[in-house]
Structure 1
Amino acid sequence: MSIFVWVISGLLCLAYLAAGGFKTFGPDARIYAAFPWAKQVGMASTRIIGALELLGALGLILPVLLGMAQILTPIAALGLVAVQIAAMTFHIQRREFQALPVNVVMLLLAAVIAVLRFLGY
């Protein structure tokens, strides 16, 4: 079970590092091209979302890897669940239903990590 949790955590971490890193540090024009919704919410909000994704990604791996404050890992996973719920709500309001499958998968993976890490795996 532990290997399963590490694989899921690693994959989710990489996905959030990529998405969050791009939203946080990417050039404005490329962000607007990749995420049309960024024009509606503004670049500052988009960068905050990216920073939250980066922090969540690090929280999935570092506490357990370092053996310190390991309760932060399931809390980070729950934070990423909240990010996905907000993203899904936003996309539904904008009728961007094509984005929902990715949001659902990311939400489910984060929820699985949260539950399994709370259980001590």
Structure 2
Amino acid sequence: MNLALWTVTGLLAAAYLLGGAFKVITPREKIAASGSSGRWVEDFSDGGVKAIGALEVLAAAGLVLPAVLDIAPLLVPLAALGLVLLMMGAAITRIRRHETKLVVVDLVYVVLAGFVAWGRFGPESFIS
């Protein structure tokens, strides 16, 4: 179970680090022009998109660093819960925009982050 949790955590951290950094450094207009999956930025200001990207980068760090450094490991499941909330917001935004096919991807991220939160709060907790 611990190996599965670390694998999912690593994949999530990599995805959110890359995706978040992309949102932070790329202009909103360029994200919107990158394809149908980026059209959601039309509903947000430049600062809103940058804030979402920053949250994703922080969550990626929060998924890995506290456990690796053994400093406040409680932050790992809390970061995973934060990602659950963030991706639920993403799914709601997609539903509101009638982008129903892309909602499935958001829900997969919800399930994966939920798995990490459940595992790190429960059976494979870092907290003794």
TM-score computed with the length of structure 2 as normaliser:
0.89
For structure 2, list consecutive stretches of 5 or more residues without a partner in the other structure: none
What letter is aligned with 2:7? V
Greater than 2 Å deviation, 4+ residue runs? 27-30
What letter is aligned with 1:40? D
For residues 28-78 of structure 1, the C-alpha deviation after alignment (integer angstroms, 9 at most, x for no partner) is 442221312212212110110111111111100000011110000000000
Aligned residues: 121
Question: Is the aligned partner of 1:104 residue 2:107?
Answer: yes
Q: Name the % identity.
A: 39
- Kindly report the root-mean-square deviation, in angstroms, between the aligned alpha carbons of the 2 structures: 1.2
For residues 63-113 of structure 1, the C-alpha deviation after alignment (integer angstroms, 9 at most, x for no partner) is 001111000000000000000111111110110112111101100000000
TM-score computed with the length of structure 1 as normaliser:
0.94
* Superposed counterparts of 1:1-121, under 5 Å: 1-34=1-34, 35-119=38-122, 120=125
What letter is aligned with 2:50? R
For structure 1, list consecutive stretches of 5 or more residues without a partner in the other structure: none
What letter is aligned with 1:10? G
